[in-house]
Structures are given as C-alpha cells and as structure tokens.
Amino acid sequence: MWYVFRLRLVIAFVSALALNACNLSDDSLRGSFSPSESAELAVQFSSVSFKSIPNEATTSDNSPEMTMSLPAELNGAEVSIYSDSACSTLVGQATLAAGSVTVTNINLGTDLTDSERVGFYSKVSFQSSQSSCVDLGLSIDYYPESQFPYFKETLFDWPNGGNTMYTSTGKSVMVFDRASVTRTVIATTTDSFIDLTFNSTTGLVYALENGANDYLVSINPSTGDRTNITGLTTTAGAVMTNPVHFDLNASGTLAYVTDTNIDALVRVNLATEAQVIVSDGSTGTGTAFSNPDDVIINASETLAYVLDTTADTIYQVDLTNGNRTVVSDSGTGTGPNITTPENMDINLAEDTLYLADRSYETAMSIDIASGNRTLLPIASTTGPEFEQLAFVQANPAGTTLAMIDWNTDAGSIHRSRLLDVDVVTGDRTLVFSNGRGTGHRFDSPQAVALLPDGSAALVISDGIMRGVSKVNLTTGEREIFSAQAFGSQSATGSGANFSDPKDIVVHPDGSKAYVADDGFNSIIEIDMATGNRSTLASVTSIENLTINSAGTTIYAIDTTGDQIIQVDTGSGAVSTVSSSGVGTGTAPIFRVTSGFTYIVPNDIVISQDGAYLYVMSNFTDLIEVEIATGNRRLIWQNPSPGSGFAIINSGFSSFRLIDSGQRLLAIRNEEVYSVELASGTVTLLTTLSIDLDGTVPTVSGIDINTAGDKVYLSDSIRQAVYQLNLQTIEFSYFSH
C-alpha cells in the first residue's frame, strides 16, 4: 500500500448488570460507544520536479511552479508546500487529481531580502488524516532582484516571440521570463558562452562554448542537463580553429558555424561530428570572407546569410555550392552604411534583415532583394533612447524587435537594458533594466559621502564623467550634481574643473562638500545649493579626506610630503599636523619596507571626540595620530597578533569607525571586515557576490549613516553603490 492508517480507538462504556437469580431473561446490558481517533498518513511522492526550471537553480523567481505524483487512491487530497523543514511556513497549495498535482500558486513572499537557498517540503491532508512533513528534495538558490547578478546579456534567443527568452551573460545561460521579469540560470561554464540558439524541434538550447575544446553543447532548459555534442576544434577531422557563431537547421541535426581564422562557413553533422567547409576562399564563387561573424540559415535550408564585420558586408551563401553574393554593403543598396555591426536577424517572410550597429541610435532594416538600408525612426518616437546597440532579434510576425542596449557612460557593459522596438514607428518599450534607480549611470565611482540629513549620498566619479552625483537614499535615483561637460552632457555647476577626483566629504551643516583632486593637487569646495565649484586649497598631493564635527578643519594625507595636513575650511590655510618634523613616534605616515615595496596610506578618519586621526596603509598598518601634538602611535602592523590578520596580506582600501570608535568597518575588494581596535581581531562580515560572468566587485568608497545601521559602498568596477545592513548583514545593489 502507498499509504497506511494508524487508528487508535479509545472505547469507554458504562454498563449496568442486573441479575435475577431465577430469570436470566431480565438480564440487560446497557452501554455507550464513543470513538476518538487520530490518523497519520504516510505518503511517498514520485516524479517531483520544478515545472520549468532545473532543481537547485539560481533564480530571481519567487514563484516556481512544481509538479509531483501520488497514488490515485489519494485523489482529492490537499497538497501543501512549505519553505521550511518544520512545515510551518506555507507557500503554496493544490489538490491531487488523477494521481498528479501541479502547484502554481507558490509565493515566497517579499520577506526574503537576502540571497539564500530555499528548500521545499510538503504535508498531505486526506479526509481526516495528515502526513508528516516530507522533504521534496527540491531547492533553489534564490536572489531578490536587488541582489541578482547583473543582466549583462551579450546575446539571446527569442523563440516564437513569446514570454520566454534564453540569454547568455558569457559565463552562464539563463531563462528570462518576460512576463514576470525573472531570471533563472540553467547552465554555467568556466570558459565563455559566445553564441546560443533554441531549437523548437528538440526543445533544447544549444550554445557555443569558447574554450580549450570549443564545445557545441546542448542544454535541457527544464532540468539543466548538459551534453557536449562535439569539440569543434578538437574532434577528429576538425577543420575549424576559431568558431565564433552558429545556427541550426530546423530539425536540429546540422549546425552551420562561422570561423574567423579560416574565414569560412562550416557545416557540422551533430550525430557524426563530421565537418565540411560550405564556403570559403576556395569553395564557392564571389568575394571571399574577411571576418565572417553572425550567421542565419533560411527556413528551407538552402541559403545562409553571413555578416562580415571587417568588410561591413552581409553575404548570401548558396548552401549547395558555397557561392557568395553581396546582399548589402557600401556599394550595394542605398542608405546609411554598415560600420560597426554587432549581429542580425531575419523576419518570418525572409525578405528583411535587421541589424544592430553600434554607430546608430536605432536598429537598421535591410531589404534583402535590393540591399537598401533604412534606420528605424528616431524623431517623434517614444520610450527610452538607445545608448549603444548590442543585439537584435525579431519576433516571427516581424512587428517587434527585441534589442539589448549597453550603457556607454563608462565604456562598460556592466549595465544593460532589454527593449522592444516597433519596426514601423520606432517606439521603444523598456522590458528590463539591470539598473536600480533612474538617472544617469555612474562612471568609475571612487568615493561616497552621505548628507547630514540622510536624504542623499554624494558619489565622486573619475571616469569620462569627472564630477559628483547625488543619489536619493530612498529611491536610488541619480542626478549629476556638479561636473564639467563631458560627451553630450552639459556642465552642471560652474567654476573649477576636476582632474582626478578621489575622495569627498560633506560639511556637517550640509552647506558644502569638499573633493580631494589628485590630478590638480587641490581641495575643491562645492556649494551644495548651486553645485558651483571653487578651489579651497592647493597642496603637493592628496587622495583622502576627513572633516571634524564642527566643519572647521579638513584633514588629509599628503603622500609626497610624507605628512598629514590640515586645511581651514574658512580661509583655505594649509598646515602640517604630523610629519617627520612634527610630532614624535616610530610610525611614519609613509614608508618603504624593502626594495620597491611602498606602504602607502589608503584612508584617514577622525575619532568621534575629534582628538585623534586614524590612518590605514595599503598593507594594513594602522596608525593613530594625536591632532594636538602630531604624535604617532602604531596600533598594529601587519601581521598582527590579533586573529585574522594572516589572511589580510594586501590591505584595506577604505574604512570607517563604528561602535563608538571601538571597531573598524574595513573594505578589501569584495570583502567587508569588522576589526576590533583593542585586540586587532578581524572578522569577515560578508563577501559581495561575484557576477555570473566572473566579475569581482572592487569597493573603493564607504560611508555610514548617522544611525550606524546602514553602510553605503561605491564600486568602481560594477559602477554601482551598494547598501549593507549592519544589523542583518544583508547586501543589495542600491543604485546603478
């Protein structure tokens, strides 16, 4: 039996027995029967799985559907799903029918604000019986959207123009649900996925993995099962040495692959792994390829369209003989030239190609018959403007293009957007953006400083945009607050320009901000009412700042002069606080250990009582400086007797005092540490997540709110500001 009932019957009765010694017919038996029963239902599940994602998947979907089977004898049973092993947190329910059940109403809620592994458990109720809590063996690595690794998709496939898209970040392949705007990782690699496609006949995703073997792999999107079909450069008889793009025939039996080393289009039999050159300089007639890149096979499998990114040409290739004909280039067809093409797609009628070209702020349509090129409308259109087109694909009806748009503010692809574009009107609709908060994007943010009222943070950038952004601490919205003109952006605020801004502090009354500019060797004062800039003081070198609670004095590190200086915020007068000639103590501010190894101060903070400065070097020396005398005391030197310092061999980049000055909160790349000042004990609080493409965050700036419970961190690699809750140690992308 699939299930067992255990019944406990408690029988109570009251009887009266009257005996008549002479007449037994008068004997009577009177009683009552009152059952009280409890039942435990033993169940055995089978065929338990998520409906559309692999088990143990990394996902932002907090409503994963799941299916399972139970004996038909239990039809009508209520199957309850829980997210804890005690079965106390109910997340979904469904009723068993025909021996199976699909749970579609799972909701993990909004209380999951940090990434974590979530397991699923079940109880089954049938009639008056209930099972114990059963582990279903299903789990997900759940990431809230605020923490999910960056979108950064470089390519995708959009089968049938539906809600499901298959995307790649380079290191992973994900299922992207356009309706729920959730992402689920179905495959990862230590190499790099450089192309992918979904085949509706086989129901599999195929990807080209660029690595030692250049595998063409298949991935089951429901289970995540992966199969290496063939090593394109290592299989017996291989002719390819650098495959870059591919397309499959409708049945999923043949792959057509472009190779930029041999400048050829190659056909690969997926069953036998045999490779045959279809078209190259020696096979077929017409102009030879010079850098064949993207490739599309028509529905009848008679023609291929090949994008050559060196010749800026689209070729049509006859698959029967390899003959090449120019479809469109600077000499064929009219309209804007193809100059920096990324990829292309074809409509269902196979009379139009769509091209993503980074030189234009919209997609290009190309008439296959004439080669004429037309840009989709830009003027009088609606929706977000493109910044740098990266990828395009058309829905089957040819009415909508799905396009990936990369940010160019910082010359980085760490921020990307997915937009739908109407091919007739050019109107754009934002489907997804990896950004948090609206406004311009950061450009190599170096430091962050909170305003005294806690309403916003100032972020200093030293990339193409050299200036200060203001970030709303409620919404994450960004605005350029004070910066010189850059690109197409006009200047914000007037006065002194920035050269190499490195650090920023805010006056305690919120009226001014001060920026350390290492390029101009100056401290620049910013009027918080207008964003106007003026030079407060010129110094020999400067990178880091701190300001006293009265706002009268800025303290800074002068590495060239091997000293700490102070700057009067009223007059701009500069004087020495501590140096080889001012103050005593064995700890220098700047020193050489051996050879060419320099120990350079990384950050400076002031104690809460305003009596001391703390200076941290890049090798984790911590020096205390008495402001009144300039005397220096080495609190610790790496390695320190305090536990934990053995692992800190490259120093902290930035730090702040917390817990009334008893501890340091210190940053090293992606790691956040707590350091006890008295003992030197180091505790790793958290490690910021590494992106799915392997990008490691690099935190350079830090500030803490007045309540001391939230930390804001600037990352110059991810172009982001994070928020770290010190009470829960929960980390999230706050603005990027």
**Is 197 part of a structural domain of the chain?**
no
Which tens digit of pLDDT belongs to each residue from 546-605?
999 999 999 998 878 788 999 999 999 999 998 888 888 865 555 544 443 445 677 899
Band the pLDDT of 669: cuts 50, 70, 90.
confident
Structural domain count, the chain: 4
Look up the domain containing 136 and give its range.
47-142
Band the pLDDT of 199: cuts 50, 70, 90.
very high
Judge whether 227 and 217 are in contact, CB under 8 Å: yes
Among 406, 435, 464, give the residue marking a domain's end: 435
**Is 662 part of a structural domain of the chain?**
yes
Q: Kindly state whether residues 451 and 429 are assigned to the same domain.
A: no
Q: Kindly state whether residues 563 and 636 are assigned to the same domain.
A: yes
Phi, psi angles (nearest 5°) of residue 130: -140, 145
Q: Is the pLDDT of residue 150 over 70?
A: no
Which tens digit of pLDDT belongs to each residue from 680-709?
778 888 887 655 555 667 788 889 988 888
What is this structure's pTM? 0.71
Q: Is the pLDDT of residue 164 over 70?
A: yes
Q: Pairing state of beta strands 40-41 and 129-131? A: parallel
Q: Is the pLDDT of residue 645 over 70?
A: no
Phi, psi angles (nearest 5°) of residue 131: -80, 170
DSSP, residue by residue, 124-154: EEETTEEE--EEEEEEEEE--TTTSPP----
Q: Kindly state whether residues 328 and 390 are assigned to the same domain.
A: no
**CB atoms near residue 258 (< 10 Å):** 28
Which tens digit of pLDDT belongs to each residue from 100-122?
999 999 998 755 555 678 999 99
Of 151-155, 398-402, 686-690, where does the model show the most confidence? 398-402
Which tens digit of pLDDT belongs to each residue from 654-663?
888 888 888 8
Residues 6+ apart with CB under 8 A from 29: 15, 17
Judge whether 468 and 502 are in contact, CB under 8 Å: no
Judge whether 344 and 392 are in contact, CB under 8 Å: yes
Which tens digit of pLDDT belongs to each residue from 460-505?
877 667 888 888 888 888 888 888 777 666 778 888 888 888 899 9
**Is 83 part of a structural domain of the chain?**
yes
Q: Is the pLDDT of residue 507 over 90?
A: yes
pLDDT of residue 310: 97
Q: Kindly state whether residues 399 and 453 are assigned to the same domain.
A: no
Q: Kindly state whether residues 322 and 366 are assigned to the same domain.
A: no
pLDDT of residue 659: 85
Which tens digit of pLDDT belongs to each residue from 278-315?
999 999 999 999 999 999 999 999 999 999 999 999 99
- The rounded distance, in Å, linking the Cα atoms of 716 and 519 is 18
Alpha carbon distances (Å) from 374 to 370, 377, 585: 12, 9, 73
Residues 6+ apart with CB under 8 A from 310: 290, 291
**Is 151 part of a structural domain of the chain?**
no
**Is 337 part of a structural domain of the chain?**
no
pLDDT of residue 95: 97
Q: Kindly state whether residues 422 and 449 are assigned to the same domain.
A: no
pLDDT of residue 15: 34
Residue 627 tokens read as 């402001």
Q: Kindly state whether residues 558 and 641 are assigned to the same domain.
A: yes
Which tens digit of pLDDT belongs to each residue from 226-283?
999 999 999 999 999 999 999 999 999 999 999 999 999 999 999 999 999 999 999 9
Q: What is the mean pLDDT of residues 183-209?
A: 91
pLDDT of residue 434: 67
Q: Pairing state of beta strands 730-735 and 720-725? A: antiparallel
Helices marked H in 369-449 — which ranges? none
Work out the mean pLDDT of the chain and round it to a whole number. Answer: 83
- The rounded distance, in Å, linking the Cα atoms of 219 and 153 is 18
Q: Kindly state whether residues 320 and 391 are assigned to the same domain.
A: no
Q: Choose between 329 and 589: higher pLDDT.
A: 329
Residues 6+ apart with CB under 8 A from 692: 58, 149, 150, 152, 169, 170, 171, 172, 174, 185, 188
pLDDT of residue 8: 30
Residue 198 tokens read as 């979904």
Q: Pairing state of beta strands 57-59 and 134-142? A: parallel
Q: Among 181, 143, 72, which Cα is nearest to 688's?
A: 143
pLDDT of residue 458: 85
SS3 433: strand
SS3 158: coil
Residue 27 tokens read as 């004997």
Q: Is the pLDDT of residue 653 over 70?
A: yes
Q: Kindly state whether residues 239 and 323 are assigned to the same domain.
A: yes
pLDDT of residue 14: 30
Residue 570 tokens read as 């009223």
pLDDT of residue 487: 64
pLDDT of residue 587: 55
Q: Kindly state whether residues 617 and 474 are assigned to the same domain.
A: yes
**Is 214 part of a structural domain of the chain?**
no
pLDDT of residue 415: 61
Residue 245 maps to which CATH number? 2.40.10.500
Among 401, 435, 469, give the residue marking a domain's end: 435
**Is 107 part of a structural domain of the chain?**
yes
pLDDT of residue 149: 53
